[in-house]
Structure 1
Amino acid sequence: MEIRLIVIRTNEPKRLADFYNLLGLTFDYHKHGNSPMHYSSKIGNMVLEIYPLAKNQTEADKNIRLGFVIDNFEKTLNLLNHHSISFSEPMQTDFGFLTIVSDPDGRKIELYKK
């Protein structure tokens, strides 16, 4: 089994896509079928999509936690720092060397050094 799609929803899709751009993701802005305009980025065989909130949704789900292995760990942390985005002190864990940052909606994002 493998994950092919993760969809996160927000009331500010552009702002969220800009944040994930800082982590190294590149997004297309498009729609397919009857879907609303949304951002889409391919990560290996998986697609991460950023959609606007659903009609019955009043706020983004902040309980989703994502983790990314990034190629340019130090460069990415410098970029986050330059944009005044705080992150935890990088540390070695059983799962690898990582830091934790929150996206604009408050989701915890684990960034692992490759």
Structure 2
Amino acid sequence: MSIKLNLVVIQSSNLENSVSFYQNFGLVFHKEQHGNGPVHFACEIENIVFEIYPSSTGRVDMGTRIGFNVIDLNQIVDTLRVKGYAIISEPKVSPWGKRAVVQDPDGHKVELLEVET
């Protein structure tokens, strides 16, 4: 059996701030609404849909941690720093490639990994 991840959904207390943060990685979002459901933002990364939904309670689950492979880690971290986002772990070489951990506007820790090709 072959199982592949196809959907990742996070919640945000401020959709526009979250979308702006994730756009720094090169993600391109579009606004969606399914039936009477909430307006949210979605993008497709290869065959995975990444969506940001509004938090129905105003609170966000901080236990969610996600990661992205990126092309120019140092540039992305520098851009996030200039824009005032928290850098949890500066870029450094790890067994998996050059890695950094940043924090999105809702407090989710986001791992960025630049894999050598």
**What TM-score, normalized to structure 1?**
0.89
2-side partners of 1:92 and 1:17: how far apart? 28
1:16 to 15, 18, 21: 18
1-side partners of 2:74 and 2:95: how far apart? 20
Which residue in the other structure is 1:3 paired with?
Answer: 5
Question: Are 2:91 and 1:75 equivalent residues in the alignment?
Answer: no
2-side partners of 1:35 and 1:12: how far apart? 17
User: Alignment partner of 1:89: what SS?
Assistant: strand
Gap runs ≥5 in structure 1? none
More strand by share: 2
Which residue in the other structure is 1:91 paired with?
Answer: 92
Please list, as runs of the form range in 1=range in 2, the aligned pairs for 1:1-114 lying within 5 A after superposition. Answer: 1-54=3-56, 57-87=57-87, 88-114=89-115
Q: How many residues align?
A: 112
Gap runs ≥5 in structure 2? none
RMSD: 1.4
1-side partners of 2:80 and 2:13: how far apart? 22
Deviation per CA, 1:23-64: give whole Å up to 9, x if none. 21111012122321100011110011011113xx34101110
Q: Which runs of 4+ in 1 moved over 3 A?
A: none
**What TM-score, normalized to structure 2?**
0.87
Deviation per CA, 1:59-82: give whole Å up to 9, x if none. 101110001000122221221122
Give the aligned residue type for 1:62: M
Deviation per CA, 1:4-32: give whole Å up to 9, x if none. 11111112111111111112111101212
User: Alignment partner of 1:90: what SS?
Assistant: strand
1-side partners of 2:45 and 2:103: how far apart? 20
